[in-house]
Amino acid sequence: MNRREFLAAGVGLVGATATAGTLAGAVWPLLSREDLVPGQAPDIQLTPHAWRTGDDRVSFAALGDNGSGGRQALAVAEQMAITYQTAPFGLVALLGDICYYGNFRRRFDTVFRRPLGPLIDAGVGFELAIGNHDNALHFSDQGLSAIEAELELLGTPGRYYTTSQGPVDFFFLDSSIPGLYGPRASEQLDWLDDALASSANQWKVVALHHPPYSSGHHGSTPGAQERLVPLLSRHHVDLVLSGHDHDYERIEPQHGVTYVVSGGGCKTTRVGRSAFTAVSERTLQFLHVEVVDDLMTATCVRPDGSVADRFMLRAREGT
Amino acid sequence: MSGRATDLAVAAGFVLVGFAVVVAPAIAVQSGVLNAGVGSMDTDLLAASAAAGAAHVALAWRRLRDEERIAARRLHVWIASLNSLVVLALSASVLLLLVLYWFPDEHASLANRGFPVSLLWAGILGVAIVLAEATARFFFWWLEPHRSPTHGPGLP
């Protein structure tokens, strides 16, 4: 073998080894995991304001980690519109990470307007629990202005706030560090303590991005079970909705509080089971919730319309 | 195994591996869709990849057979093909990933206007195939003996 042959063969063999490792270890898993392939927005006309909200009833949906704008996000959004046709809802609780792969202001059409267009046109409202991809850099001015731009575009009042719909009081939290669990968390926790104490409605639903309990890729959020969970138990919160892990999980009631991870808005990751797990599944999904008087019925819907889970709760304050 | 049979077997192996690495990104995407619990899935990307893979098979097979006929050593053909496979595998997957990741809004806008994503997909794979073919031809040319230019009669 002459010098050129040796050099060319060496380049080929080293390149083949490195390429095989890179593709199998990083590139193909990334293509499989992310929702990068674009698709067409749902073309569905919905009857505006078709839902019924009264003192004793309300319907809403919960959607987490939906910020890709790709085919999978579009499939979930389309199924939400289809579900609206038969079971209309007036509110979508966004559980964070509403924008991946770039800035929300720049990607607004792709990740929000196009996928959720039928619901937006029908007058459905959107509330947001800020996620880590909505901008984790809270300490920087750039990070804060990105979050504020997001809130402004969505028309939500702040980084954490409460709102009421029918018999439900919703509490939207900013669970990013230092929002809820870091050293400067006491401000929001004190606010939540006061807000829950003064809540007069029959139902209390808390929405935040990072799950206190999870058996998914990220797992239970450190600090949540020590700092947040006792507060939620003490105030008889009925349901806690979260995202962050890209799966669906329902947790066995913990001190009377039911926890749900609904993070399958556009991509999925593996999920296991823990002692606290009631249901867990790796699937794209959203949650449809109907509250009538003291009964809540929640349904986890896959993009093909099939049901991954259904559960019912009785209002804790109502029992 | 005779020399001709070996040539055929090696050439077939190279083009089949080439086909596999062209189709692999689409399989990765579709496996993600399957894992996501989506009932039905679009097969347009698989079809586009299969078409690009078939084009690569035709191009590479013809090149390999030509090179085997004229090569000073068979080893030159195989080394050149190994390098072209590396470029093909890397560029097919990485180009797709980079293009999809860096220009998501442009693609979403195109797709929303009815532009078939499979065309974009096949186009990127086409670039990868061209790069791989150029690599194979460069390495083959570089490895083969270079004859001195001949001078015609009457020239100094």
Chain B residue with the nearest C-alpha to that of A18:
B86
**How many CB atoms sit inside 10 A of residue B3's CB?**
9
Per-residue pLDDT of B129-149, as tens digits, reads 999 999 999 999 999 987 665
Work out the pLDDT band at A60, boundaries 50, 70, 90: very high
Residues in chain B within 8 Å Cβ distance of A13:
82
The verdict on A138 touching B (C-beta cutoff 8 Å) is no
Residue A36 carries which side chain, given as an amino acid letter? L
Q: What angle do CA B147, B151, B152 make, to 5 degrees?
A: 135
Residues in chain B within 8 Å Cβ distance of A8:
79-80, 83, 139, 142-143
- Higher confidence at residue A177 or residue A108? A108
Helix (H, G, I), strand (E, B) or coil at B114: coil
Determine, for residues B93 and A28 on separate chains, whether the beta-carbon distance falls below 8 Å.
Answer: yes
Cis check: omega of the bond before A178, within 30 degrees of 0:
yes
The verdict on A133 touching B (C-beta cutoff 8 Å) is no
User: How many Cα atoms occupy the beta-carbon half-sphere of A299 within 13 Å?
Assistant: 17
- Higher confidence at residue A277 or residue A184? A277
Determine, for residues B37 and A308 on separate chains, whether the beta-carbon distance falls below 8 Å.
Answer: yes
Distances, alpha carbon B71 to alpha carbons B74, B85, B148, in Å = 6, 19, 17
Q: What is the pLDDT of residue A136?
A: 47
Q: Give every CB contact of residue A95 below 8 A, 6+ residues apart in sequence.
A: A62, A63, A64, A65, A129, A131, A207, A208, A209, A241, A242, A243, A244, A262, A263, A265
Q: What angle do CA A170, A109, A30 make, to 5 degrees?
A: 90
User: How many Cα atoms occupy the beta-carbon half-sphere of A145 within 13 Å?
Assistant: 3
Which of B31, B90, B143 lies closest to A19 in CB terms? B90
| Predicted TM-score (pTM) of this structure | 0.88
Which of A1, A35, A107 lies closest to B105 in CB terms? A107
Residues in chain A within 8 Å Cβ distance of B31:
32
Work out the pLDDT band at A317, boundaries 50, 70, 90: low
User: How many Cα atoms occupy the beta-carbon half-sphere of A67 within 13 Å?
Assistant: 26
User: What mean pLDDT comes out for the span A291-296?
Assistant: 96
Tokens of B29: 């995407």
Work out the pLDDT band at A148, boundaries 50, 70, 90: low
Distance CA B97, CA B103 (A): 10
Q: Where are the alpha helices (DSSP H) in chain B?
A: 3-35, 44-70, 74-102, 104-112, 117-143
